[in-house]
Structure 1
Amino acid sequence: MTTVVDLSGIRTQRLTLGTGERTWTVLGRDHRVVGPAEEYLEHLRVQKVSPNTVKSYARALALWWQYLDAFGLTWDTVTLEDFGAFLTWLRTGEGPQVTALAPGEPRFGEATVAVRLRGVLSCYEFHQLNGVDAGRDLHRLVQRGGGRYKPMLEHIARRKGRRQTVIRVRQQHAGAPPVLTPRQIDGICDACAVWDSAVYEWRGSVRDRLLWALLAETGLRLGEALGLRHRDWHTGRGDTPFIEVVPREHPHRVRVKGGGYRKLYISDELDRLYGEYLWQLCGAGADMAVVDLDDWYVFVNLAREPRFAPWQPDSVYDLVDRLRRQLAGCVPNAWTPHWFRHSHATALLLAGVPVHVVSRRLGHADVQTTLNTYAHVTEDAELRAVADWKALTSGWRATIEAAEAIGPCS
């Protein structure tokens, strides 16, 4: 029988700061903030780390302090063995002096275990850099770099060996990213707004349709789309319309991941949809309510207060929940805005667009990220090409036959 320790008193807590920004912290059994954890989370906030990253690390640290409490450990005197036991505890949930007679279902997948361990180790690295002797030989746990790739002249440039991990997490093979079919994407867009040819106007929310159409056609992350301003959208004037993805501050902390600028060309159809939305915005008084509409956000509140304020990610996910219920049975139940990005990349690769072009369009810092994420797509394309051996070798066969017709080789 497996005994899971009830440690609900130690938990993550969502906070709303004076600026309206949402963040997370860790509370102990006494309902007070766990000092070492909060110091590290505040460091992340100061560094303007994504709120989702702060949330993930707060969850990791809450689990770590639950583990310390269960086993009677002090946070600044832990050893390598304690970190190894933490991984076992994450998987089983078994308290001290408990041995399961039969293996049970794991509490977390190995990918989640790796993420939680990374969050805890980052916290300890932060405290060590600030002079706190927390954890013995912790550097032996810290991973440096990933994969087996070594840059050119690595053997010359590096004077010392690479740090290796003592405790390793079993890595699961990453499956194919989830995608939406063109029919499913059309269904989501049509559920938001459709063109009524009888009266020559749109029925529904053009803003909502524009968001999904934009994600599907450009592969933008949700945060990048919500950060767009009208000055970033360059309507076609006889040439190809395009948008600019510009790193900048956002009131809801959404951001351009990686901090890189990029320029994305779009279709005339998407550009016309944006023009309709902009016309509706001005008709609703946005140009009067906002000091400089050109410098304001494309996606804003239309019904909720404050009106014309930047649209929040939470509100987008409320829309996703409504669409899931409305389209139940027609689209996957678990779809998220990020599925549009995977669908966009998959479509480009299947169409034969070079990987380095897809990588630049997605804003990946390294083409290897694209190859790792969408390896199944490129592999399938290569297999299909090799399978069509007759067409592939037709030119080669014609050359051989022409040479043989001339005469034997001399």
Structure 2
Amino acid sequence: MASTQRVAMSEGVTWTVLGEDFRVAEPVEQYLEYLRSRDCSPNTVKSYARALALWWTFLERRAQAWDAVGITELGTFVGQLRRGEVAEEVVVLHGRTRMADATVANRARAVMGFYHYHAARGVEVAGRLYETVRARPGGYLPFLEHVARRTGRRSSVVKIRVRTKPVPVLLPAQMAVIRDAEASWDAAGAVWSGELRYRLLWTLLEETGLRLGEALGLRHCDWKTGTGTTAQVEVVPREDHPHGLRAKSGHRRVFIGSALDRLYGDWVWALCEAGADVELDDWDNAYIFCNLRRGPRFAPLRPESVYKHLGVRKKDVPGLPPHMTPHWYRHTHATALLLSGVPMHVVSRRLGHADIQTTINTYAHVTEDAELRACADWQKITRTWGSRHEG
């Protein structure tokens, strides 16, 4: 079967796909190189490579040329994905756990992206897997539809419906209890006791909606302390993080409150007391979240260490959801902003989404539920009829 292969390059780590003969699947590699040229993250390339390795396995086992497929082959592939049979030597007859619709959709999207790329390169069969859709008069027109009104939009012939699930969120009390479990302020001694580093991390994720990788990639020069102005954190795209972390959505500024800014100041003071100001040659480019006891002192903290620490906290602190991850803070941040009436486009910019449609697809249920709840007070609504009629 085809497989994904990790490749170490001077620019970092990437992934490619090998066929049954252990040679690089050239058409797939061309598409993956296109993704790299668009500055897609290594994790995105890895995810697409895994999906395309399954597709290549499907083709090789059927002795099917990649540029001689049609809708029938794609439909069969999607069916095998759902049943988990693409890479199986023997197809079992008894029932098995179905693959999640979202996972099937993501893998099918990678395959269709592969053919969309080759259609642009002039591969005839790839072009037949897409259709030109023109807007019908009187119908709903999506955003910027006028741009494609004359030539139409290219749409994949393979469409997989995915039931949207509400994103998980944390309650204010849950976020407060984990903060207090990490570190508490001793008023008598005027010092913090506990894990101030993690209290700062959870507070930062809660207040900014940053991804964990973005937070762990912050350097001291990225934190602009408020000096008569509103404090802010800059998310800066870089390619040199020792653990491969990077800003997924490019450069952006996220404004923060004074309490979080003071907490960062306390953490800087704690680092200096630990000797960071003496040991670090370049303070500005040192990472904010760093090792103190394990590993090289003041080296950047690993995401695995954060997940391990959170696992311990979920056992020690009552009331925390057992499946909670750091990404729940991002969902909670977006949900809280939308419920408070912040416009969708502002939330999208704060989260760093490249396309507002991503924000809409993920959090549309928040505003919809709020609008539907507003209809619950039927008596209040009907009372306005009379006042409008009298006016």
- Give the TM interval when normalised to the shorter protein: 0.7 to 0.9
Deviation at 1:391, TM superposition (A): 5.2
Instruction: Output the CA distance in 2 between the equivalents of 1:44 and 1:321.
Output: 34
The residue correspondences of 1:159-198 to structure 2 (distance < 5 A) are 159-169=150-160, 171-198=161-188
Q: 1:375 to 1:40 in 2, by over 3 A?
A: closer
Counterpart selection for 2:231 from 225, 241, 246:
241
Q: 1:50·1:254 contact (CA, 8 Å) conserved in 2? A: no
The alpha-carbon distance between structure 1 residues 389 and 284, as it changes in their structure 2 partners (threshold 3 A), is: same
Deviations 1:137-161 (A, max 9, x none): 222334889x97434572x864323
Deviation at 1:279, TM superposition (A): 1.1
The TM-score normalised by the length of structure 1 is: 0.78
Match of 1:108 in 2: 99
Aligned: 1:351 with 2:340: yes
2:129 aligns with one of 137, 141, 165: 141
The corresponding residue for 2:331 is: 342
Report the counterpart of residue 381 of structure 1 in structure 2.
370
User: 214-223 vs 29-38, which deviates more?
Assistant: 29-38
Tell me the TM-score normalised to structure 2 length.
Answer: 0.82
Counterpart contact for 2:7–2:15, Cα < 8 Å: yes
Instruction: List aligned pairs for 1:90-129, cutoff 5 A.
Output: 90-94=81-85, 104-105=95-96, 107-126=98-117
Q: What's the secondary structure of 1:295's corresponding residue?
A: coil
Identity of aligned residues (%): 52
Residue 176 of structure 1: CA displacement?
A: 0.8
- Specify every segment of 5 or more residues in structure 1 that has no aligned partner in the other structure, as ranges: 1-6, 404-410
**Partner residue of 1:64 out of 55, 69, 78:** 55
Shift of 1:278: 0.8
Aligned length: 384
CA distance in 1, matches of 2:150, 2:100: 37
Task: Identify unmatched segments of 5+ residues in structure 2.
Answer: none
Distance, in Å, in 1 between the alignment partners of 2:148 and 2:261 is 49
Asked whether 1:224 is paired with 2:214, we answer yes
Query: Larger radius of gyration, structure 1 or 2?
Result: 1
Q: 1:72 to 1:303 in 2, by over 3 A?
A: farther
CA distance in 1, matches of 2:237, 2:4: 30
Amino acid at match of 1:189: R
Match of 2:258 in 1: 268
Q: Distance in 2 between matches of 1:66 and 1:141?
A: 20
CA offset digits 1:209-228 (Å, max 9, x no partner): 21111010111122322232
Quote the offset at 1:66 in angstroms.
Answer: 2.4
Q: Structure 1's 289 and 399: CA in aligned 2 closer, same or farther, altered over 3 A?
A: same
Note the alpha carbon deviations across 1:354-375, whole angstroms, 9 max, x for none: 3343333223345444333222
* Structure 1 CA distance for aligned equivalents of residues 332 and 287 of structure 2: 25
Q: Which amino acid aligns with 1:58?
A: A
Distance 1:46 1:394 in 2: 60
Separation (CA, whole Å) in 1 of partners of 2:258 and 2:120: 53
Q: Among 193, 204, 224, which residue is 1:214 paired with?
A: 204
CA RMSD, Structure 1 to Structure 2 (Å): 3.6
Q: What secondary structure sits across from 2:154 in the alignment?
A: coil
